[in-house]
Structure formats: C-alpha cells, structure tokens
Amino acid sequence: MAPRVAALVGSTAVGKSRVAIEVAEAISAEIVSVDSMQIYAGMTIGTDQPPQDWRQRVPHHLIAEKDPSEELTVAEFQARGRAAIDDITERGRVPLLVGGSGLYFRALVEDLDFPPRAEDVRARLEDELEELGAAALHERLSELDPAAATRIEPGNARRIVRALEVIELTGKPFSDGYDFDRYDSIYRLAVAGLNRSRADIYARIERRVDEMLDAGLLDEAAALRASGPSRTARQALGYRQIYEATESGALSDKELRAAIVAATKKFAKRQEAWFRADPRVLWFDADDPDLTAQLIAFYRNTLEVP
RNA sequence: GGCGAGGUAGCUCAGUUGGCAGAGCACGCGACUGAAAAUCGCGGUGUCGACAGUUCGAUUCUGUCCCUCGCCA
C-alpha cells in the first residue's frame, strides 16, 4: 500500500509554516518543505525560513540544506524530497509537505520523470535563439513536436529551448510520456490548501517585506552575493531585486521595497493559479479560528492516521 | 495679481492635420516536466477638467471658467 502523505499548500505569506507546526505535532508528522528557495543555506531572512524554535519542535526537511553556490533543479529536488518522504515513513511517522513551489510539489507526489539535460546542447540552442529569435525556434518545434508547440507560447523562449533540447537528447517528442492534466498521486495523499483574500495576502506581503528589510535583508543579500550564488539562488525574490538595483544603480530604499513587494505579489498570484488548477486540493480559510483543528481532522480522516 | 506649462485609464504619460481613444505599470485570468521565487500568454478599463461656440461630427479648433505646477510680483 502506498505511503500516506499529508500536504499543505498555498501562496507565499498565507501562513502555512506557522499552522503546520501545530498540525505536525498533533499527527506525529515531520515537515518536508516544498520550497525551491528555502532549501538554500544562508538565505534565512529573504526566503522566510521557519525559525529555529519551530524547527526544534518539529523536524524539518529540505530547509537550509544546500549550498547557494550550487544550482538546484526539479529533478534533484524530486530525489531529495522522495528520500525524505521514504525516511520519515520508514520511521513510522507521517510526512507533511508544506510549501508553494507548484512544479516541485507535483514532482514529489506524481510519477513525473524528467528527461535529461545537456549543457552543450542547451548552449547551442541559446545561440540559435539569439540569432533566429524565439518565433523561428517555435516554428521548428511545431514541426518536430506539434503537440508541445501548441502548449508553449511562441514568445516563451525558455520553454521552447528546453523542449528542443529534450527532443534532441531523447529522439522523442517533448510531449511524449506524460499528461500534465492528470493529477495521479503515487502516495495516499491528503492535500489541504490555505485560502486568504487577495487584499489580505497583499497586506501581509507588504508587512513581511518591511520586516525582512528591518531584519537585515540587504546585508544578507550582500553576503550571499560575495559568496558567488548560483543562477537559481540569485533569482530568489528580494535578492534578485537587490542585485538588479545595485547593478543598474540609483534606486531609493522606497523604490527597492516597492519592487520587491510588486514581484512578490505577482508570484503569489501565480502560485494561487497553480494550486487552483489542482483538483486534489481541499481549501481551508486561513482566518478560521478553528483552522488547526480542521486541518488535523482532515488529515486524520483522509489518511487514517492517529 | 502677471507670465509660462499642463489637466486623457487606478498611476505615469503618448496621441488624434476634427471621424467609435493607446502604451507601460498596476489590476484580473490563464499556461507550466532538469532555471519554476523561473518563463510566457490573454483581458477590461475612460463623462479625454467644466460650460458654451463653430461644425454633419469636437477629446482635438475658438472663448470663458475651474484646478495643478513653475517663475515673477
């Protein structure tokens, strides 16, 4: 029988981490972070990693485990996450997946098999992109893999290049072997989503960005920059805006703060769209005073855990 | 008070030699298989400051008024 897995998803700043602690204690769960940036060490403030005292109450996995000078890929995250889930399950406890990285979540709980990658092929396609433009490469994709071409917009150079890379490496269409509209879990899965009004999310984001700046985000970002962050680590919200500001010059503190807030709001919207599309998610009101009890009951009933 | 500039989308502004008003941002919605906190797609916004005049037709031309900013007094 498939292992039981509990999950708590939702957009940034909705309040997942906090409620997850109490829920985890109640159902003897350990938390597996599903977050593409909290996995990096040294990005404590900007990625809003759960504080030490929370982590002492409940074991957390995939938080501050990876050196920011290294790139992270979905495939690696999938392997690490699966290992954590297996480990927790073997010890007789319940994995509680908590996070908002949509693709990473699906990579963990579904049978997604990521085709290989090759830097040299990628580099050549990037050169061609430079020369011919995205539209030309999209046209090529329509010939090689019509199904993929209809699902990737002609302007989306990144995904077009990736599709062509996979076709070249595997000799098979990019669209082969999976159906992204199916949401088949490999675990016995209970997914709760945390809901909050847009206005509340936005207000919480603004407050949190202020708190991060007060807590020394600028210094943390400078230290990270000096250590040579990988391409994936440096694009984390907050850090990215700080680096752009220092490179292109003159942004006032106020403008910088506004840029971070704006980018984070956009991100929250994308996250909501992602999880709204997932039929497995059962939604809960984050403001409900009874939220913790409801979540505990939901996981107990669905997974039949103590 | 005088002179100058300006009042167009929630914001910043473009524009119409007079013919159903448009960009960016914001906002909303969506897509998503080794960069995903990435990348990309779709969408609506309006008494064109007010009133009058000229005109088949005025946001555009004319007049008066109101408001904002700057300089001078």
Closest nucleotide over all strands to A107 (CA to C1'): B33
Q: In 3-state terms, what secondary structure has residue A43?
A: coil
* Cα(A130)–Cα(A213) distance, integer angstroms: 37
pLDDT value at residue A20: 98
In the Cβ-directed half-sphere of A207, how many Cα atoms lie within 13 Å?
A: 10
* Cα(A186)–Cα(A5) distance, integer angstroms: 10
From residue A13, alpha-carbon distances to A23, A74, A82 in Å are: 18, 23, 26
Read off the pLDDT of residues A127-182 as tens digits, 9 standing for 90 and up. Answer: 999 999 999 999 999 999 999 999 999 999 999 999 999 999 999 999 987 788 89
Read off the pLDDT of residues A290-305 as tens digits, 9 standing for 90 and up. Answer: 999 999 999 999 998 8
Gap from A34 CA to B21 C1', Å: 47
Yes or no: say if A105 and A97 are a contact pair by the CB < 8 Å rule: yes
From residue A38, alpha-carbon distances to A65, A67, A93, A144 in Å are: 9, 11, 23, 38
Gap from A258 CA to B9 C1', Å: 22
Strands A60-61 and A4-9: unpaired
A188 C-beta less than 7 Å away from strand B: no
The dihedral sign for the CA sequence A240, A241, A242, A247: positive
A245 C-beta less than 7 Å away from strand B: no
Predicted ipTM beyond 0.85: yes
**Statement: residue A250 has pLDDT above 70:** no
At A82, list the tokens. 């699966």
* Cα(A100)–Cα(A33) distance, integer angstroms: 9
Closest nucleotide over all strands to A134 (CA to C1'): B40
**Statement: residue A251 has pLDDT above 90:** no
pLDDT value at residue A255: 85
* Cα(A13)–Cα(A10) distance, integer angstroms: 9
Gap from A52 CA to B16 C1', Å: 62
pLDDT value at residue A21: 97
Q: Which single residue is written with the structure tokens 């669209």?
A: A175
Q: Could you tell me how many residues make up chain A?
A: 306
Q: Which single residue is written with the structure tokens 């999310």?
A: A201
The pLDDT confidence band at residue A227, using thresholds 50, 70 and 90, is very high
A81 C-beta less than 7 Å away from strand B: no
Exposed, middle or buried by CB within 10 Å (0-12, 13-18, 19+), for A54?
middle
Picking from A131, A136, A124, the residue whose alpha carbon sits closest to that of residue A165 is A124
User: Within 7 A of a protein CB, which nucleotides of strand B?
Assistant: 25-41
The pLDDT confidence band at residue A247, using thresholds 50, 70 and 90, is confident
* Cα(A149)–Cα(A52) distance, integer angstroms: 46
